[in-house]
A and B are shown apart, each in its own frame.
Chain A
Amino acid sequence: MKIIIRRRFVEPPYLKFTLTILAIIISLIISMLIIYATASIPPTKFLYSIYSGLIDPSTLRYLIPLTLSGLGLILPYKAGVWNIGSEGQLLAGAIATTYIALYILPKNIVGYIGIPIILIASVLAGGGYALIAGYLKAKFNLNEILSTLMLNYIMIGLGNYLVYGPWRGETQYGYPRTDIIPNQLWINPIQFGGINVNPVFIPTIIIVAAAMHYLFKNTRIGYEIKVYGLNPDAALHSGISKTKIILVTMFLSGALAGLAGAAEILSIHRQLIRVQDVSAGYGYMAILVTWLSRMDPLATILSGYLVSALIASGYTLQIIAGLTIGAVNLFVGGLLILTTALDFLLKYEVKLKW
């Protein structure tokens, strides 16, 4: 038998889509087997939990942070800038939100003034935090993967220091969490077609996705980001500024992650709690969201939904079988492994010949 491998020069239509579906199916099967072998959860139960995750409206709860951060990551990833720091940027947004809500705004401020101020602050906090790594990369060529990772851990430490220390709430019976932010700053879900929908962040996601779609289709800066990612030398030669691309993409992705942090505080927790409870690794899962969509902003909403459903079912499994969030990591990692592996078939044609 001979295996013939040839480079592809034209990508067959729908192949990307097919491979993504294939990756999802295979990794489901693998996770099912591993979980069966180690925790003896029968496949039927496993599949049922996935199914319930997909139709459970509470899936939308994870969709917001995942899709916002995932959309943000499209920008640096298209430019070949590896921002792995969504986690820290999200937390920066959450911390800024709490700070403004509890310590800056007057207690009786009205929601439609207070909330926009908070959102702007979270965007600046997340974006600004990402800019540290962006600046270090642009100026000193410091590896952004490592700097964003280190900054994640630093923000995690800082957040926990705050909730265990100076910000610990007076009304919280000594629990590590801040006081609850004023009522009028909460963002409460509204009923929409029988399900609970977040009235601020769901529309935000749709608007951001549409804007990014437009950005990459029609604007110069979108094109420059793409060109820089494909061939940095060519971009440089054509007058595209490396510094600009790095700073812009890092800032925007950090800003969207920061917004996700604000969303978590304003619509879910209403106070800052231990950071591992604010974000259970959403910043890392967002990477999967971005890649499953193949960096297409509109498709990111779909992949965001899918990954959220997986998390929701992961929690179901946790309850019924006493698994930890580790099971979700197994699945997220497995899916990402398969996506990168199957990409091979996009670039190469493989034929078997007897």
Chain B
Amino acid sequence: MHPASSIIVFTVLSGLGYGLAAFLGLGLLDPSAFATKVAYISALVLIAGGLLSSTLHLGNPRRAWRAFSQWRSSWLSREGVLSVLVFVPLAMSAWLCAMEGRYSAPIGIAGSLLSLATVFCTSMIYASLKSVQAWHTRLTSACYLLFSLAGGALLGSAFGVAGSGSASPLSFFALVLLISAWTVKIAWLRHLDSLKPLSTPESATGLGAVGRVRLFERPHVTENYLTSEMGFRVARKHAAKLRKFALLLGGLLPGALVFLVLAALLAGAEAGGAAILALMAASLSHIIGMLAERWLFFAEARHAVMNYYGG
């Protein structure tokens, strides 16, 4: 599948924003701290930026409001509805924190639940497509949710340390979630690598009873919407390198940084600029790793229609 940058940026940024919002909603950060106020604003900015980017790939963005209507059947519509609904508790929580330095558990928890539900809907847009076998597994949703939470905990722990001047429980969550997310992601990759194609040129043409089927000629000599949208192929050697790159920047490096900060703070070190900087660097590294992970999520997935195009 073609890795469209608007969709990659959208899923990474909004995923991170929702993850951060989910942790903020639990009230683990001191609402009177300045850093917590910044955290709330950052979550909203990340989510809004992601959503804006997602409209960039629409053919008719002016009609985007219509996408709220089919929540009964469409995961994309559900995602659209929730992504707007979630703004109500998130904006309220942000207001309470920024203006009054307060935290309200019911509003916060509603925001956390809706944030995770939105990420789940995003993941189901992909996981529900039978035509893209790599995505059509429950592991897809697990990956999206865990990566969103891991990123959120990571960024949240930077704000937490900055706000409280001491170790934040979020650093611990970040470590656990990074490990879980990558464990599931590696299972997802194993699943992808071991896939036996559900559909083949034989089943696509119904000619399997006659013999082995091979594309002889494409319908047109030039590319078309289908081949550019679904015919994207990434060379195996590049994919292997990028997988390592994603794991390194999206998992190992931020994990190591959080671990070091956590160990230092627990050993009694002062939670100064270095700790905050390290956690910020960990978050940034995680974002870059996630961009690579998401790029591969699309680039490595094969669409069933390629059985008709010899791909």
Q: Are A and B subunits of one complex?
A: no
